[in-house]
Structure 1
Amino acid sequence: MPKFVITGAAGAGKSTLIAALAAEEYTTVPEAGRQIVAEQLRSRGTALPWLDRVAFMQLLFERSIAAFDQTGNPTDQAVFFDRSFIEAIAYGSMIGHPAPQSMLQAAAARQFDAPVFVCPPWREIFTTDDERRHDFEFAVRDYQANVVAYRAAGYELVEIPRVSIQERVAFITGQLARLQTFRPSNPA
């Protein structure tokens, strides 16, 4: 099963793009980070990026690895992940807590298909909310750390243009068509 990841800056439209791909009948995997933040807020937990960054990093990595491992059934149907375990490694570098060797080994044992799609920082659509409390400057650093981490892991990166959501979906499906013919997971 081809597994593709969409990474990039916080607030750059990744989740909107994932939702649009799901509407096109592709299998998608939501971002673990926002799920963790929502759960921690509901349970009054502390594994939050503004309280216990190392605990957040660890949960982010574990959830992202589990999501990757749970996506099975080898077929030619593409699956799109909203971020991945590589982001946990990138986040560790941002907070001054390098990923332990065990994380690096677990990440190296799992590979996404090429290319990795990257959403660059986009100030015009960037917003904050209860789960995203950081500013745009943090989003730029997030983007830079993610690009560095994916490149260090050996991935080919393709930047998604800052265009309408329909054009972004067309860009991705066009990229896939050039690689091979991948069909949506639930063709109509």
Structure 2
Amino acid sequence: MFRRKKSTLLAAFGLAGLQTVTEPGRRIVAEESAGRGLALPWDDSAAFACRAVDMAMQDRAGVRDALGCIFFNRGLIETLAGSARFHQEVFMTPAWPESYRNDDDRRHGFVAAIDEYHRSCRAYDRL
């Protein structure tokens, strides 16, 4: 089993030449941890959410004129549901109990990850 299945899958898509966008949450945690750490989700969820929205909008703008499919590892739908156009078919992957692990960048538990997956599915249904 891969430790991070979605991240591993996204990396494989990239190696196959497909366009990918990595998860904003982990990028934010890495940047904040390397700096002053003012927008970490476990310290200031509002500041983290603002950074996530900004990053998702930058990610979207960065691929606006791209051709073909683009695979996002989270962030965009969770932050921009209803404000952007997407393909009618989406590929969703829930957290898997066999591979889900907490680490310094992921402190929320498996149940919270499943809840987030269901919120994302509902957001896609509204598009």
TM-score range, shorter chain: 0.7 to 0.9
Q: Following superposition of structure 1 onto structure 2, how do residues 119-138 of structure 1 map, counting pairs within 5 Å? A: 119-138=93-112
Normalised to the residue count of structure 1, the TM-score between the two structures is: 0.61
Trace 1:12-23 onto structure 2 (pairs within 5 A): 13-23=5-15
Superposed CA RMSD: 1.9
Q: Percent identity?
A: 36
Q: CA deviation at 1:12?
A: 6.5
Q: Which has the larger radius of gyration?
A: 1
SS, match of residue 27 in structure 2: helix
Partner amino acid, structure 1, of 2:75: S
Gaps of 5+ in 2: none
Equivalent residue number for residue 78 of structure 2 = 87
Could you tell me which amino acid in structure 2 is paired with residue 48 of structure 1?
L
Q: Distance in 2 between matches of 1:61 and 1:85?
A: 8
Deviation >6 Å, runs of 4+:
none
Classify the secondary structure of the residue corresponding to 1:118: coil
Report the TM-score when normalising by structure 2. Answer: 0.87
Correspondence list, 1:51-130, <5 A: 51-75=43-67, 77-88=68-79, 107-108=82-83, 110-130=84-104
Distance 2:79 2:48 in 1: 9
Aligned residues: 125
Relative to its length, the structure with more strand (as a share) is 1
Q: 1:144 aligns with which of 86, 105, 118?
A: 118
SS in 2 for 1:119: coil
Q: Could you tell me how far apart the structure 2 residues matched to 1:74 and 1:24 are?
A: 16
